[in-house]
Structure 1
Amino acid sequence: MAESKPSSSAAGAKSNVRRFIVFMLFITVVINYVDRSSLSIAAPHIVDELGLSSVQMGFIFSAFAWAYSPLQIPGSFLVDKVAPKVLYPIIIGAWSLFTFMQGTAGSMWQLIIFRLGVGASEVPSYPMNNRIITTWLPEKERATAVGIYISGQYVGLAFLAPVLVWLQSEFGWRFMFYTTGGISILWALGFWILYKDPMKSRANAEEIDYIRQGGGRPEWLKKQHDPQSAQTDVVPFSRLAKSRKLWGLVIAHMGETCANWFFLTWFPIYLVKYRHIEFIKVGFMATLPFAAAWCGVLLSGYISDKLLKKGFSLTFSRKAPIITGLLLATTIIGANYVDSPTLIVVFMSVAFFGSGLAAISWSVVSSIAPVNLTGITGGIFNFVGTSMGILVPILIGFLVSDGNFSPALIFVGCMALLSIFSWTVIMGKIERVQ
């Protein structure tokens, strides 16, 4: 039988440790994305100091994904095998060190090597987030939780971009990397101290039962405790690999991540070099789309779980905000037809708000993944999606090499339409692969 915990509450009220766990994931994602995307803030200064072309900068931007994308599948096997308390602090510490080292770079190739290191180190991070959410959260709370921690990727740049710009202006772009990398190393230690799996945590019996009855997996692989129950959850990898639901999901993710890669790489350069906005102003103007995306992802998770609690199907509850967001993301093309900095940022903010609405697709991974293949499902999902991190920065570099950024924005908008097609035609009903 499944392991149980004695109740710590005489009144039978459940504890809320799972909320603290979601907060920890939020902090981790903020740090993750500040380290991942701080290069885009430093890029205008790096281009000037090292004399790099747009094509060379495109290769530097994409170097992160050269390691991050192809290592998703082998790296995600670790997520199913190694406990979060052990694996997560190790990978946080590793990517933090490579972030720090970017401040020492003196050439294009050194930057590429350090970016490869950041990408390789971050490989298990999002599949690990998904494992933790599957472990700690019932189904009806997952979209909200995913929305909260994914919002961290926008908070980092929405509210910290001005701080990063200020650090550069006062102390130089190298010092910015030293600061972000050093803070991240401290969080690796903090995560190791604070995180515990449900059965080893302060969560009482009522909270554990609430998680379990709602579809969570507080014991992770239940076959360790209830072999007969676990057998029904075990799905061979070959069945998963042939699933139309999986491929519909990952193709949709591939399309919806294009806007993310644009904003995380080329957006500041687009404003400075192609729209001729002063760099100091960019530090504040660039925060608005990220703030909009932050609002979008929080709103999407809340709406999705609210629809589910009101009795709508899981399929409708998840797809409705995602598809709405993707439709809004196509408005990025409108920036091609205005010259006012204010209107440019308005179009960018609406588009990134839509991208935020679509960002809860990670909650669907938890809904379709066989319990014994949660990590690898997340790895496949992230592999196909983040492969765009290789294509998008390089392709944009070539598309804008003649000084015209319009084709790049059209490309990003069209990829949102591809994602809508996959969600509506390929994906089908959202349910666990059996």
Structure 2
Amino acid sequence: MKGVKRTNVRWMMVVFLFIVTAINYGDRATIGIAGKSMSGELGFDAAAMGWVISSFSIAYVIGQLPGGWLLDRFGSKRVYFCSIFFWSIFTLLQGTIHFFIGAWALIMLFTFRFLMGLAEAPSFPGNSRITAAWFPAKERATAVSIFNSAQYFATVIFAPIMGWLTHEYGWQSVFFFMGGLGIFISFVTIIMVHNPKDHPWANKEEVEYIAEGGGLVDMDQKKEEGKEDQGPKLGYILQLIKNRMMLGIYLGQYCINVLTYFFITWFPIYLATERGLDIKSVGFLAAIPAVCGFVGGIAGGVFSDFLLRKTGSLSIARKTPIVFGMLFSMMMILCNYVDSITMIIFFMSLAFFGKGVGALGWAVMSDTAPKEISGLAGGLFNMFGNASSIISPIIIGYIVHVTGRFEWALVFVAAHAFLAAFSFLFIVGPIKRMEVKKNQFSNY
């Protein structure tokens, strides 16, 4: 009907995804805030805590393909709710390990962190799926950059709260607070997450606007009874990993995440050991590049959608920020040639800004994942990306151990930024939605 104003429920959805993602990263950070007090009280040494920290990443990677399959089989609403609810339960339960004695406390902490990682596995593929359903292509990168930027913002939001709770009420309170908050948000999912066509707050004009722009508004529509494709078959994985475009995207995301995990894990250690800063200074200075990454992330998404509106080309719109952002992030190598802390933070801030600009992998995934198996494709994408959370910190540690310094570690990280740019430029090819051959793997 002419003159009816289009609703904007899709932007409420992306704010909700931002909140969920911030809680997601806040839950991951609990062990970093509470770990010192916890290990002191329970007698865990550094090696034991290392296994506890790695347990999450191992489970998170293992859970990507099953999590993606569950999203495709049962839809975003149910799986997203279960994911948030159960990862929050396992977060909360970590606050109870002091009830166990000796080695059992360590075993239970490892188990709860592992189960939390499994439960979180569908979260980012779910974000990608919801974005693909709710946003036309010309707004998708902005939407993805908003919820993706929550990973930088989570530290600013939750670290002070968790630090205060630990000081005032003990380390257990951190897990109770974050777990309880997540359980509450999981029930908000029931109200917020719907197919665009079924959402009680979205009018027909908004749904048509999304659909005309390439949004998959009927992604979770119930399949007709008796239809052969009731869910993705495992053989679809072979189609995904044999597709040159998807392989290039997966390789690019692995390389981009090497930069992410360097800043999360090794950058504070670099400031403390290589540059001799005290812990208080490290905490303050390490936050500056994180803020720059947040700004870069929003800027990259807005710029990408601007390019799409101007050029009409997904390839130009997505690849340009990724390639230039990754090349810009290589400026971290300049830290090897300066001694001033100010200049080091300046170059690292520029590098993290570039990384933020180029972190459009989930937007590309929303643009390219086959409609029938978008969850599975996103799970495989996230599995490749988060494999770097296991591999790259170990390699960086080995480089620092052998050389005694961080120079070659910075070169290692910067080389991955270059490889990410190379992958999107020369391997990915034209960016378009992949079509699957539905009957090719009927026996799988």
Q: Secondary structure at the match of 2:366?
A: helix
Written as runs of structure 1 = structure 2, the 5 A alignment for 1:65-80 is 65-80=57-72
Is the CA contact 1:63–1:116 (under 8 Å) kept in the aligned structure 2? yes
Moved more, 34-43 or 80-89: 34-43
Q: Across the two proteins, how many residue pairs are aligned to each other?
A: 421
The answer for unaligned runs of 5 or more in structure 1 is 1-6
Report what 1:23 is aligned to. 15
**2:207 counterpart of 1:208:** yes
Written as runs of structure 1 = structure 2, the 5 A alignment for 1:132-211 is 132-201=130-199, 202-211=201-210
Is the CA contact 1:329–1:416 (under 8 Å) kept in the aligned structure 2? yes
- Equivalent in 69, 78, 92 of residue 86 of structure 1: 78
Relative contact order: is structure 1 or structure 2 higher (C-alpha 8 Å, sep ≥ 6)? 1
RMSD between aligned residues: 3.0
Does the C-alpha gap of structure 1 residues 190 and 278 become closer, same or farther in structure 2, counting only changes over 3 Å?
A: farther
Report what 1:310 is aligned to. 310
Does the C-alpha gap of structure 1 residues 291 and 98 become closer, same or farther in structure 2, counting only changes over 3 Å?
A: same
1:92-124 per-position Cα deviation (integer Å, ceiling 9, x unaligned):
121122223334457655543332122111111
Report what 2:261 is aligned to. 261
Q: Which residue identity is paired with 2:409?
A: A
**2:90 counterpart of 1:98:** yes
**2:246 counterpart of 1:246:** yes
1 CA distance for matches of 2:163 and 2:281?
A: 10
2 CA distance for matches of 1:166 and 1:406?
A: 36
Q: Which residue identity is paired with 1:203?
A: A
2 CA distance for matches of 1:404 and 1:367?
A: 41
1:16-41 per-position Cα deviation (integer Å, ceiling 9, x unaligned):
11111111111111111111233334
- Once the 2 structures are TM-superposed, how far is the Cα of residue 424 of structure 1 from its aligned partner? 1.3
Q: Which residue identity is paired with 2:66?
A: P
- Equivalent in 22, 42, 52 of residue 45 of structure 2: 52
Report what 2:114 is aligned to. 116
Does the C-alpha gap of structure 1 residues 169 and 342 become closer, same or farther in structure 2, counting only changes over 3 Å?
A: farther
- Once the 2 structures are TM-superposed, how far is the Cα of residue 178 of structure 1 from its aligned partner? 2.9
Does the C-alpha gap of structure 1 residues 327 and 161 become closer, same or farther in structure 2, counting only changes over 3 Å?
A: farther
Written as runs of structure 1 = structure 2, the 5 A alignment for 1:280-295 is 280-295=280-295
1 CA distance for matches of 2:401 and 2:32?
A: 18
Does the C-alpha gap of structure 1 residues 382 and 72 become closer, same or farther in structure 2, counting only changes over 3 Å?
A: same
Q: Which residue identity is paired with 1:210?
A: Y
Identity of aligned residues (%): 39
Q: Which residue identity is paired with 1:206?
A: E
Does the C-alpha gap of structure 1 residues 265 and 192 become closer, same or farther in structure 2, counting only changes over 3 Å?
A: farther
Report what 1:218 is aligned to. 217
1:252-297 per-position Cα deviation (integer Å, ceiling 9, x unaligned):
1000001212223344444445544333333332321221111111
Report what 2:365 is aligned to. 365
Q: Which residue identity is paired with 1:23?
A: V
Is the CA contact 1:103–1:177 (under 8 Å) kept in the aligned structure 2? yes
Written as runs of structure 1 = structure 2, the 5 A alignment for 1:362-401 is 362-401=362-401
Moved more, 120-129 or 58-67: 58-67
Is the CA contact 1:72–1:380 (under 8 Å) kept in the aligned structure 2? yes
2 CA distance for matches of 1:404 and 1:419?
A: 25
Does the C-alpha gap of structure 1 residues 396 and 185 become closer, same or farther in structure 2, counting only changes over 3 Å?
A: farther
- Once the 2 structures are TM-superposed, how far is the Cα of residue 155 of structure 1 from its aligned partner? 0.8
Written as runs of structure 1 = structure 2, the 5 A alignment for 1:324-363 is 324-363=324-363
- Once the 2 structures are TM-superposed, how far is the Cα of residue 344 of structure 1 from its aligned partner? 3.3
Q: Secondary structure at the match of 2:432?
A: coil
Q: Secondary structure at the match of 1:215?
A: coil
Report what 1:12 is aligned to. 4
The answer for unaligned runs of 5 or more in structure 2 is 99-104, 436-444
Does the C-alpha gap of structure 1 residues 51 and 369 become closer, same or farther in structure 2, counting only changes over 3 Å?
A: closer
1 CA distance for matches of 2:273 and 2:173?
A: 23
**2:418 counterpart of 1:431:** no
- Once the 2 structures are TM-superposed, how far is the Cα of residue 393 of structure 1 from its aligned partner? 2.9
- Once the 2 structures are TM-superposed, how far is the Cα of residue 378 of structure 1 from its aligned partner? 0.6
Report what 2:440 is aligned to. none
Is the CA contact 2:68–2:375 (under 8 Å) kept in the aligned structure 1? yes
